[in-house]
């Protein structure tokens, strides 16, 4: 269970959000909404532990994530704006490295299966440099399988993906929530669930141009 305990973040002089207090149970999807620059990415990075909130703390299963960061990382997967894949390595190598660093072993059959699920069949052995933007994104998304994480933090996961893969990704998110996982995501896309609960978190106000 994830607990955001009154967290406040600011960038420079500007306060992005103030005292967000949220208890998130397993089987929940948090859809973070807000205008550009309202602090969605900052909130997600704070939950991932990449930046310290100005005030407040984040608790995972009742323990402050600062104290149990390595264990927390084992249960958490963060997909940011950047794909986090090496252009000079092949998709397969990228996936293997992600899995090993996450402390998981995946077999060759699983690798092939993951790649065909992501619609990357036949592209496993190509260096990611030659893949298209959307295909690179798919390689990054393949990490979802490599790490057996309970908490998924996804920053705009649908950007750059085509109409074929978006429904499969939505399906993946749904099944993660149905399995009792937690998904925190930002997207301008409408997300619906068949099982579990969905909470919408609105950040920021519409900027005042006066």
Partner 1 sequence: MFEAFVCLVQRDLTIAARRQSDVLTALLFFIIVISLFPLGVGTERQVLTKLGPGVIWVAALLSSMLALEHLFVNDHADGTLEQILLTPQPLLILVLAKITAHWLLTGLPLVLIVPIVGLQYGLPAQALGIAVISIAIGSPVLSLVGAIGAALTLGLRGGGVLLSLLVLPLYIPILIYGAGAISAGFFGMDAASPYLTLLGAFLLLALVLAPLATAAALRISME
Judged by the rule CB under 8 A, the positions of this chain that interact with partner 1 are: 48-52, 70-71, 73-74, 76-78, 80-89, 93, 97-98, 100-103, 127
Closest approach, Cβ 11 to partner 1, in A, equals: 10
Complex with partner 1: residue 73 or 118, whichever CB lies closer? 73
Return the DSSP state at 127: B
Q: Which residue matches tokens 């009154």? A: 6
Nearer to partner 1, 43 or 77 (CB): 77
3-state DSSP of 75-89: HEEEECCCCCCCCCC
Minimum distance between the CB of residue 174 and partner 1, rounded to whole angstroms?
24
Instruction: Identify which of residues 32 and 98 has a Cβ nearer to partner 1 in the complex.
Output: 98
The residue (of 1 and 89) whose beta carbon lies closer to partner 1 is 89
Closer to partner 1 by Cβ: residue 40 or 174: 40
Q: How far is the CB of 42 from partner 1 (least distance, A)?
A: 10
To partner 1, the closest distance from the beta carbon of 167 in angstroms equals 25
Task: Please tell me the distance from the alpha carbon of residue 152 to that of residue 173, in angstroms, as a whole number.
Answer: 9
Tokens of 84: 């986090």
Interatomic CA distance for residues 164 and 158, integer angstroms: 11
The H or E element spanning position 143 is helix 143-146
Exposure class string for 174-210: b at 16+ Cβ within 10 A, else e = bebbeeebbbbbbbeeebebeebeeeebebeeeeeee
Shortest reach from residue 209's CB to partner 1, in Å: 30
Computed over its alpha carbons, how large is the radius of gyration of the chain?
17
The residue assigned the tokens 């092949």 is 90
Distance separating alpha carbons of residues 89 and 126, to the nearest angstrom? 8
Instruction: Spell out the long-range contacts of 104-108 with Cβ–Cβ below 8 A and sequence spacing 24 or more.
Output: 104/146, 104/147, 104/148, 106/145, 106/146
25 vs 71, which CB is nearer to partner 1?
A: 71
Closest approach of Cβ 193 to partner 1, in Å?
A: 26
């Amino acid at each position: 269970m994830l607990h955001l305990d009154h967290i406040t973040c600011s960038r420079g002089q500007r306060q992005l959000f103030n005292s967000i207090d949220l208890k998130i149970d397993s089987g929940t999807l948090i859809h973070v909404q807000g205008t550009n620059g309202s602090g969605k990415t900052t909130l997600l990075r704070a939950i991932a532990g990449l930046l310290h909130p100005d005030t407040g703390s984040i608790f995972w299963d009742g323990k402050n994530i600062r104290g149990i960061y390595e264990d927390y990382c084992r249960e958490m997967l963060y997909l940011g704006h950047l794909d986090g894949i090496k252009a000079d390595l092949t998709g397969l190598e990228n996936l293997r490295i992600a899995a090993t660093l996450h402390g998981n072993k995946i077999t060759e059959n699983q690798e092939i299966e993951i790649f065909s699920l992501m619609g990357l069949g036949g592209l496993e052995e190509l260096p990611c440099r030659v893949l298209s933007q959307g295909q690179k994104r798919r390689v990054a998304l393949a990490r979802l399988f490599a790490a057996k994480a309970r908490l998924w933090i996804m920053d705009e996961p649908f950007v750059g993906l085509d109409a074929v893969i978006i429904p499969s990704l939505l399906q993946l998110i749904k099944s993660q929530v149905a399995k009792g996982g937690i998904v925190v995501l930002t997207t301008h896309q409408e997300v619906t669930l068949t099982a579990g609960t969905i909470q919408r978190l609105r950040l920021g106000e519409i900027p005042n141009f006066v």
